[in-house]
């Protein structure tokens, strides 16, 4: 069989069984690399993934209002512009009032999910620790907008703290595993961080009852087909409700400043493969994808994604939340991004819906 037929066959198997063995994943990723120049397999997997996504979600796109509430971080990940050794990063913390104002605006714009994202910031926030402050802020958002979901994306914590956040009303949590290959994980992070603890966190989150999101960067330094195969197998095992992937994009003030970025093609290919493996997962077309390709988010939706996460942070802080270079939407108001994305989705025959956008199989607690 020629290379292309093997790839089509693997795609078909993935679609019908939602599973590939490790060596099959490696053949799929390696085979595609070998077949470079021939993009038929990308079109084929993209189209197949789009059909699955439409079967489950129609042409609806869910939105999440992203509030980047702190740029302080105690960690020192080699890829991230917010790493603690980056002395050029401007650090800020939003106040609770600023966050509630973002929610007020966001609600009027039709958002029914707010994502609080930040570095791992121990605080203090006024007279509170970071964890107390998050708990208190989640409670205030839930009581102010009871028909909205709150998602946290604040990194690694003990199970006990995750439980406190959940009890305060946070129902979803995003924590990318970044890579499921232990040696690759060590090459992206300092020794103080371990894949083991990251996976412990993810299992705790699932166990507590969060709709849990994980994911990885595509094209991060040192990533090979075997790493990607392990990412796929890990995601299959965890069964997360959400999966976020985007290209690695270098940041000029990090050790990876001179590494090359992941490509849009590779990202779209992985996204489609994830859709085939997890037909009803919530998969965003990410800002990083929109950063390396002008119509990246539209292309993401057409390759099987069904969520977008426009920025709701105050414009005054947006440039300071610089995970990577040239991040888009750092000069726009919330309403501008919302309108822009509505038009972008309409241009490809999709529409943004006013909905919490829970996972189809998530048990509601409220």
Q: Provide the binding-site residues for ligand 5AD, judged by CB under 6 A.
A: 79-80, 176, 178, 217, 246, 248-249, 251, 288, 323-324
How many alpha carbons lie under 13 Å from residue 314 in its C-beta half-sphere?
Answer: 15
Q: What is the DSSP letter of 355?
A: S
Output the six-digit token pair for 358: 């829970």
Report the nearest approach of ligand FES to the CB of residue 336 (Å). 5
Report the nearest approach of ligand 5AD to the CB of residue 304 (Å). 19
C-beta of 87 vs 364, nearer to ligand 5AD:
87
Report the nearest approach of ligand FES to the CB of residue 286 (Å). 12
Three-state DSSP class for residue 266:
helix
C-beta of 42 vs 68, nearer to ligand 5AD:
68
Residues that bind ligand FES (CB under 6 A): 310, 329, 332, 336-337, 340-341
Residues 83, 86, 90, 91, Cα dihedral to 10°: 40
114 touches which of ligand 5AD, ligand FES, none (CB within 5 to 8 A by kind)?
Answer: none
323 touches which of ligand 5AD, ligand FES, none (CB within 5 to 8 A by kind)?
Answer: ligand 5AD
288 touches which of ligand 5AD, ligand FES, none (CB within 5 to 8 A by kind)?
Answer: ligand 5AD
What is d(CA 276, CA 296) in angstroms, rounded to the nearest whole number? 20
Q: Closest residue (Cβ) to ligand 5AD?
A: 324
What is d(CA 335, CA 45) in angstroms, rounded to the nearest whole number? 34
336 touches which of ligand FES, ligand 5AD, none (CB within 5 to 8 A by kind)?
Answer: ligand FES
The alpha-helical segments, DSSP class H, found in the chain are 3-17, 22-34, 40-57, 96-108, 130-144, 159-167, 182-188, 195-208, 225-238, 264-277, 287-292, 296-302, 315-318, 334-347
51 touches which of ligand FES, ligand 5AD, none (CB within 5 to 8 A by kind)?
Answer: none
Backbone φ and ψ for 69, nearest 5 degrees, come out as -95, -15
Backbone φ and ψ for 170, nearest 5 degrees, come out as -75, 125
What is d(CA 312, CA 104) in angstroms, rounded to the nearest whole number? 10
Report the nearest approach of ligand 5AD to the CB of residue 187 (Å). 14
Report the nearest approach of ligand 5AD to the CB of residue 98 (Å). 20
C-beta of 128 vs 315, nearer to ligand FES:
315
332 touches which of ligand 5AD, ligand FES, none (CB within 5 to 8 A by kind)?
Answer: ligand FES
Report the nearest approach of ligand 5AD to the CB of residue 80 (Å). 4
Length of the chain: 366
């Amino acid at each position: 069989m020629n290379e292309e037929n093997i790839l089509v066959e693997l795609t078909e198997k993935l679609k019908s069984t939602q599973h590939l063995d490790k060596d099959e994943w490696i053949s799929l990723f390696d085979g595609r690399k070998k077949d470079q120049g021939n993009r038929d397999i990308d079109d084929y997997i993209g189209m197949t993934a789009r059909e699955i996504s439409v079967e489950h979600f129609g042409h609806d796109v869910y939105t999440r209002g992203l509030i980047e509430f702190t740029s302080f971080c105690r960690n020192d990940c080699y890829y991230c512009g917010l790493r603690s050794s980056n002395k050029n990063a401007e650090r800020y913390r939003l106040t609770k009032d600023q966050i509630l104002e973002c929610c007020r605006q966001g609600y009027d714009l039709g958002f029914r999910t707010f994502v609080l994202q930040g570095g791992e910031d121990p605080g203090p926030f006024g007279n509170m620790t970071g964890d107390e402050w998050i708990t208190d802020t989640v409670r205030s958002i839930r009581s102010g907008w009871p028909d909205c979901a709150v998602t946290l994306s604040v990194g690694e914590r003990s199970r006990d703290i995750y439980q406190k956040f959940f009890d305060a009303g946070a129902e979803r949590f995003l924590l990318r595993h970044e890579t499921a290959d232990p040696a690759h994980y060590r090459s992206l992070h300092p020794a103080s961080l371990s894949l083991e603890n990251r996976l412990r966190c993810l299992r705790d989150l699932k166990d507590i009852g969060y709709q849990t999101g994980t994911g990885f960067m595509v094209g991060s330094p040192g990533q090979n087909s075997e790493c990607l195969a392990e990412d796929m197998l890990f995601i299959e095992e965890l069964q997360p409700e959400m999966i976020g992937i985007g290209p690695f994009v270098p940041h000029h003030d990090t050790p990876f400043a001179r590494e090359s970025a992941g490509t849009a093609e590779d990202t779209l290919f992985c996204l489609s493969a994830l859709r085939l493996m997890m037909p009803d997962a919530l998969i965003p077309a990410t800002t990083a994808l929109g950063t390396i390709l002008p119509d990246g988010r539209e292309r993401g939706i057409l390759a099987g994604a069904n969520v977008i996460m426009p920025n709701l942070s105050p414009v005054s802080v947006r440039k300071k939340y610089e995970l990577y270079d040239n991040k888009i939407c750092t000069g726009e108001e919330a309403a501008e991004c919302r309108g822009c994305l509505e038009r972008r989705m309409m241009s490809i025959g999709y529409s943004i819906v006013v909905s919490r956008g829970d996972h189809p199989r998530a048990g509601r607690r409220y």
